[in-house]
Chains A and B, each alone.
Chain A
Amino acid sequence: MKNIFTYEWKLFIRNKTMPATWLLMFGIGLYALYYGRSFSDTQLDTITKIDTAYQARIQTQLQRFSADTTTKEGMSDYRNVHDAYMNEWYTRPMVWKQPEGLQALSLGQSDNQPFYYNLWIYNNVYNTRQPELRNPDKLLAGNFDLSFVIIYLLPLLIIAYSYNVVSADRENGLAGLLNVQGVSQRAIVSGRLLFRCCTVLVLALLLSIIGIIINGVAMGAAAGWLGVNVLYILFWFSLVYWLTASGQSGAVTAVKLVSLWVVLLIMIPSLFNSLQKINEDAKMEIAEASREYGGKIWDMDKQLLADTFLLVKPEWKEYFILKNDTNDLRSVAYTYFTVYNMNRVGRGIDSAALQQQSRLERFNYVNPVFATQLLYNKLAATELNNFIVFREAASAYQQQRYELIAQKELSGEKLTPASFQAYPKFVQPVTGLTAGDWFRSMIPVMCFMLIALLLGNYYWKNNAHKK
Chain B
Amino acid sequence: MVHALEAIELTKKYDTATALDRLTLSIQPGEIFCLLGQNGAGKTTTINLFLGFTQASSGKAFIKGMEVLPGASDTKKFVAYIPEVVQLYGSLNGIENLDFFSRLAGFKYTDTMLKGFLNKAGLQEEAHSKRLSTYSKGMRQKVGIAIALAKNADVILMDEPTSGLDPKATAEFTAICKELAAEGKAIFMATHDLFNAVNVGTRIGIMKQGNLVHTLFTKDITANELQDLYLETI
Which A residues fall within an 8 A CB radius of B?
A: 3, 7, 10-11, 14-15, 172-174, 176-184, 188, 464-465
Contact = CB atoms under 8 A, between A and B. Distances in A.
A7 B76 contact: no
B197 to A, nearest CB: 22
B104 A176 contact: no
Contacts, number: 69
Contacts of A173: 83, 85, 87
A315 B104 CA distance: 84
Nearest to A13: B91
B87 A184 contact: no
B92 A3 contact: no
B51 A180 contact: yes
B51 A176 contact: yes
Contact of B53 (A10, A181, A465): A465
A10 B76 contact: no
Contacts of A184: 71, 73
A188 B86 CA distance: 19
B104 A183 contact: yes
B59 interface: no
A179 B100 contact: no
A10 B96 contact: yes
B144 interface: yes
B91 A7 contact: no
Given A7-B100, A465-B55, A182 B106 contact: yes
B77 interface: yes
Contacts of B101: 177-178, 181
A173 B80 CA distance: 16
A174 B77 contact: no
Contacts of A15: 91
Interface string B138-157: 00000010010001000000
Interface of B: 51, 53-55, 70-71, 73, 76-77, 79-81, 83, 85-89, 91-92, 96, 100-101, 103-106, 131, 144, 147, 151
27 contacts: A3-B100, A14-B131, A172-B87, A174-B87, A174-B88, A174-B89, A176-B53, A176-B83, A177-B88, A177-B147, A179-B76, A180-B79, A180-B80, A181-B101, A181-B104, A181-B105, A182-B76, A182-B104, A183-B104, A183-B105, A184-B71, A184-B73, A188-B104, A464-B70, A464-B71, A465-B70, A465-B71
Question: Which DSSP category, helix, strand, loop or mixed, fits chain A's interface?
Answer: helix
Which one of A7, A178, A464 has the highest number of Cβ atoms from chain B below 10 Å of its Cβ? A7
Contacts of B96: 7, 10
Contacts of A465: 53-55, 70-71
Nearest to A171: B87
Nearest to A183: B104
Contacts of B106: 182
A460 to B, nearest CB: 11
Smallest CB-CB A-B distances: 8 pairs: A173-B87, A14-B91, A181-B104, A3-B103, A180-B81, A181-B105, A182-B76, A183-B104
A254 B161 CA distance: 34
Nearest to A14: B91
Nearest to A179: B53
B195 to A, nearest CB: 26
B104 A3 contact: yes
B55 A178 contact: no
* Residue from the set A3, A180, A465 with the largest chain B CB neighbour count within 10 Å: A180
Nearest to A461: B71
A7 B92 contact: yes
Given A3-B103, A182-B106, A464-B70, A177 B91 contact: no
A3 to B, nearest CB: 4
A174 to B, nearest CB: 5
B70 to A, nearest CB: 5
Contacts of A464: 70-71
A169 B51 CA distance: 17
B77 A177 contact: no
Contact of B76 (A172, A174, A180, A188): A180
Nearest to A175: B53
Of B70, B89, B100, B104, chain A has the most CB atoms within 10 Å of the CB of: B104
Contacts of A7: 89, 92, 96, 100
Contacts of B51: 176, 179-180
A177 B92 contact: no
A343 to B, nearest CB: 67
Nearest to A7: B100
A181 B91 contact: no
B233 to A, nearest CB: 28
Contacts of B104: 3, 178, 181-183, 188
Contacts of A182: 73, 76-77, 104-106
A128 to B, nearest CB: 60
Contacts of A178: 101, 104
Contacts of A180: 51, 76, 79-81
A176 B50 CA distance: 12
A333 B165 CA distance: 102
Nearest to B101: A181
Given A176-B83, A184-B71, 15 more contacts: A14-B92, A174-B88, A176-B51, A177-B101, A177-B144, A177-B147, A178-B104, A179-B53, A181-B76, A181-B101, A181-B105, A182-B73, A183-B105, A184-B73, A465-B53
A176 B221 CA distance: 33
Nearest to A187: B104
B51 to A, nearest CB: 6
B151 A181 contact: yes
Contacts of B105: 181-183
Nearest to A176: B83
A261 B105 CA distance: 37
A16 to B, nearest CB: 9
For B54, B86, B89, the residue with the greatest tally of chain A CB atoms inside 10 Å of its CB is B89
Contacts of B71: 184, 464-465
A177 B101 CA distance: 8
A184 B77 CA distance: 12
A178 B76 CA distance: 11
Contacts of B79: 180
B86 A177 contact: yes
A11 B76 contact: no
B115 to A, nearest CB: 18
